């Protein structure tokens, strides 16, 4: 059982450096436009606000989750019985000195990329079209064109679950393809130093424009989605190709369940055509993974994380497997591929 709402409201109201909203529709903040109500959303505008929120929630029994711009999250359609700390808009200060960029974790990636281009700095061109925040991108070592932002990270400042600050060097972050040690730590990234390279601003802007145009032509942007659903495995890439090609090769491009559809533009995207539920998305993930496994021998893992009603976070393919082990769940079986 969680504490009553009045106690929660009083505890959250005592926190400085945050904005608080209660009974928030997660569909309204989800890039997938999917999710039921959350009990409260706390939006941090200062690092001190993050510290105080973490200390407050440490001493409570409510489910608690930290998010950025939700660019890799699938919320449950039943909602979330707890408090969400959102590190995003309002927590986005950035300073540039010579070739070093120091930015707060809530700054949007496209904004940061354009600011560095304006300053005549190169290194973030591949990130310019990626939705989300710096903290989330660094945690996942995200990027595009099979590159990761970790190669330009000099220092990461974080706050742990007790509200204490710490920092990691690039080496200590142990960056690998779409991985970092930050994913294993119960911490919130609040600030990042990036080491970039001098370049001609006009050249960097042209490179970024080309990346954005390429994404617009290849990726669905007119319907809610969470970006790439499945991770690209190097071994699979070398023999079968990227996830989108594998999904298309088994004939699933355009396949749908309810309001969720495997994009007709890029098969590694699942889009919400209207009214999609978390179950619709997870069901499609289960089917994609099974059909591609049968055809290629490779089991694709998800880049997307699923958040259940209790705030437990897992890879979406693991959640899908739990619901449809072996491809069936009572009368809701996965159809054989035609």
Catalytic residue among 69, 191, 248, 303: 303
The pLDDT value recorded for residue 217 is 73
Same domain, 135 and 197: yes
Model confidence at 6, in pLDDT bands (50, 70, 90)?
confident
Here the tokens at position 263 are 């994009």
For the chain, helix, strand, coil in percent to 5 are 35, 25, 40
Whether residue 310 is predicted with pLDDT greater than 50 in this model: the reply is yes
What is the residue range of 306's domain?
Answer: 234-327
Model confidence at 266, in pLDDT bands (50, 70, 90)?
very high
Residue of 95 and 333 predicted with greater confidence: 95
The pLDDT value recorded for residue 326 is 65
Same domain, 263 and 165: no
CATH number at residue 102: 3.30.465.10
Residue 178 falls in the annotated catalytic set? yes
Same domain, 28 and 121: no
Catalytic residue among 43, 71, 108, 228: 228
Whether residue 116 is predicted with pLDDT greater than 70 in this model: the reply is yes
Q: What is the pTM of this model?
A: 0.84
Q: Average pLDDT of 241-250? A: 95
Residue 278 falls in the annotated catalytic set? no
| Residue 223 falls inside a structural domain | no
Here the tokens at position 320 are 């899908």
CATH number at residue 270: 3.90.78.10
Same domain, 210 and 292: no
Residue 108 falls in the annotated catalytic set? no
The pLDDT value recorded for residue 3 is 47
Euclidean distance between CA atoms 229 and 44, whole angstroms: 28
Beta bridge partners of 108: 133
Reported as a single tens digit per residue, the pLDDT across 270-298 is 999 999 999 999 999 999 999 999 999 99
Reported as a single tens digit per residue, the pLDDT across 36-85 is 999 999 998 888 999 999 999 988 888 999 988 787 899 999 999 999 99
Here the tokens at position 255 are 């396949």
Catalytic residue among 31, 178, 257, 289: 178
Distance (Å) of CA 150 to CA 49, 118, 324:
26, 21, 35
| Burial zone of 56 (CB within 10 Å; 0-12 exposed, 13-18 middle, 19+ buried) | buried
Reported as a single tens digit per residue, the pLDDT across 144-184 is 877 889 999 999 999 998 889 999 999 999 999 888 999 88
Euclidean distance between CA atoms 115 and 34, whole angstroms: 31
> Which parts of 27-108 fold into alpha helices (H)?
47-58
The pLDDT value recorded for residue 107 is 93
Mean pLDDT, the chain, as a whole number? 90
Domain stop point among 68, 87, 106:
87
Sign of the dihedral defined by the CA atoms of residues 147, 151, 157, 162, in that order: positive
| Residue 225 falls inside a structural domain | no
CB 140 within 8 A of CB 72: yes
Whether residue 337 is predicted with pLDDT greater than 50 in this model: the reply is no
């Amino acid at each position: 059982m969680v504490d009553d709402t009045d106690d929660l409201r009083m505890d959250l109201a005592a926190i400085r450096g945050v904005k608080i909203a209660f009974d928030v529709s997660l569909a309204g903040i989800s890039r997938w436009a999917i999710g039921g109500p959350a009990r409260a959303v706390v939006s941090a505008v200062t690092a001190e606000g993050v510290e105080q929120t973490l200390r407050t929630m440490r001493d409570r029994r409510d489910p608690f989750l930290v998010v950025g711009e939700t660019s890799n999250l699938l919320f449950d359609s039943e909602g979330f019985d707890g408090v969400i700390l959102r590190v995003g808009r309002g927590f986005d200060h950035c300073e540039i000195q010579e070739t070093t960029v120091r930015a707060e974790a809530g700054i949007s990636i496209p904004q940061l990329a354009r600011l560095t281009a304006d300053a005549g700095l190169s290194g973030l061109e591949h990130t310019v079209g990626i939705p989300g925040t710096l903290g989330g991108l660094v945690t996942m070592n995200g990027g595009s064109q099979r590159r990761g932002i970790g190669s330009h990270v000099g220092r990461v400042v974080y706050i742990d679950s007790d509200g204490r600050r710490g920092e990691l060097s690039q080496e200590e972050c142990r960056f690998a393809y779409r991985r970092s040690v930050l994913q294993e730590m119960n911490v919130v990234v609040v600030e990042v130093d990036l080491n970039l390279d001098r370049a001609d601003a006009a050249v960097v802007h042209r490179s970024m424009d080309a990346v954005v145009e390429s994404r617009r032509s290849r990726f669905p942007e007119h319907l809610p989605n969470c970006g790439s659903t499945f991770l690209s495995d190097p071994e699979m890439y070398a023999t079968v190709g990227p996830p989108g090609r594998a999904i298309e090769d088994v004939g699933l491009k355009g396949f749908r369940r309810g309001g969720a559809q495997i994009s007709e533009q890029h098969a590694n995207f699942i889009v919400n055509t209207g009214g999609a539920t978390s179950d619709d998305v997870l069901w499609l993930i289960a089917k994609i993974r099974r059909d591609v496994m049968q055809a290629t021998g490779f089991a694709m893992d998800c880049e997307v994380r699923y958040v259940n009603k209790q705030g437990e976070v897992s890879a979406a393919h693991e959640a899908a497997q739990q619901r449809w082990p072996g491809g069936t769940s009572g009368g809701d079986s996965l159809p054989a591929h035609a």
